[in-house]
Amino acid sequence: MKPQIAVVGSVNVDLVFKTPRMPVPGETLMGHSFQQIHGGKGANQAVAAARMGAAVALIACVGDDVNGQSCLQALGQDHIDLQNVRRTKDCATGVAGILLDDGGENCIVLATGANALLDPSDIGRAASTIAQAKLLLCQLETPLDTVIAAIRSARQAGVKVVLNPAPARPLSDEVFACVDYLVVNETEAALLSGLTTVDLSNANEAAARLQQRGAKVVLITLGALGMWVRSTDDSYCLPARKVEVVDTTAAGDTFVGSLAVAIAEGMELRAACMFAQSAAALAVTKFGAQTSIPYRDEVERFFTMS
């Protein structure tokens, strides 16, 4: 049977400008191209989990507009349960402006739109969906009180929680204590651990601090350096898979969604992380957010390559 995963998070339309480099303040720069692509961390992670083989239910809010309709149609094509996605006339669907340079790096400006209207009452209405899930997956592109309500709902139902605290913001120890798997990048790890910077040299220290705050398993993604994994009884580095980078957009979301499925299927932690790394590595070889997220068969082939 497919593992059931509930995702609480954002739904956006990505406006992607390909550019030779990042502009400096006050500069008008001629770009290569423009595309409009479906995105949002919640939606991206839901799509990744669905393409890895999970039965995914999304809890979100979109505008009652063309963008919202387009996003829902795309999510439906991945067979994601959308009964807990509320459409509102009070605000437009979220939009992200993305600059992507020739090196594959990106800068993002987010207008949260309807994502900001997702509230604890939406979580209350979706309580049975969360309770029936094997795992709850959350990020921070929706209001923090809503995310906390979802985590508490999962906790009360005995459902494991994966939290990807992005974009980074301060969190209480109460939140950390409810998190089974905390997935952060270098920037997020630094903010939440109190260290000035986090890299391979001090990733274990940062992970230990986050465990002290209550998180059970901490995973710090370090880009080309790989990732650091710290569980209750082990700590180690996993090197990154080597690929040609086209676009890093949604690589982190692909990792998180794929990791959630591997965990829900009962995969051992090291193997789950390597599986998710393989999915993320494939994602950076393609352009866009949801357009870059691979399918399970692609990942399994890549995962087993020596």
Annotated catalytic residues are 253
On the 0-12 / 13-18 / 19+ scale of CB atoms within 10 A, 34 is: exposed
- Among 48, 108, 74, 104, smallest CA distance to 255 is for 48
150 is in an annotated binding site: no
Token look-up 């083989």 returns 53
Cα(286)–Cα(247) distance, rounded to whole angstroms?
Answer: 6
180 is in an annotated binding site: no
Structure tokens at 195: 């260290």
41 is in an annotated binding site: yes
Structure tokens at 236: 């180690």
- Among 174, 132, 169, smallest CA distance to 154 is for 132
226 is in an annotated binding site: yes
44 is in an annotated binding site: yes
Kindly state the DSSP code that residue 250 receives in the 8-state scheme. Answer: T
* Residues forming a β-bridge with 2: none
Structure tokens at 295: 């399918």
14 is in an annotated binding site: yes
244 is in an annotated binding site: no
Cα(223)–Cα(230) distance, rounded to whole angstroms?
Answer: 17
Cα(134)–Cα(158) distance, rounded to whole angstroms?
Answer: 9
216 is in an annotated binding site: no
97 is in an annotated binding site: no
286 is in an annotated binding site: yes
10 is in an annotated binding site: no
Report, in this order, helix, strand and coil percent for the chain, each rounded to 5. 40, 25, 35
202 is in an annotated binding site: no
Nearby residues of 229 by Cβ (< 8 Å), 6 or more positions away: 207, 217, 218, 219, 235, 236, 237, 238, 269, 270, 273
253 is in an annotated binding site: yes
137 is in an annotated binding site: no
* Residues forming a β-bridge with 63: 88
288 is in an annotated binding site: yes
65 is in an annotated binding site: no
26 is in an annotated binding site: no
Query: Reduced to 3 states, what is the DSSP secondary structure of residue 296?
Result: helix
118 is in an annotated binding site: no
- Among 283, 255, 61, 68, smallest CA distance to 164 is for 255
Cα(294)–Cα(199) distance, rounded to whole angstroms?
Answer: 28
Residue list, annotated binding site for ATP: 185, 221-226, 252-253
Residue list, annotated binding site: 12-14, 40-44, 141, 185, 221-226, 247, 249, 252-253, 283, 286, 288, 292
Residue list, annotated binding site for substrate: 12-14, 40-44, 141, 253
Residue list, annotated binding site for K(+): 247, 249, 283, 286, 288, 292
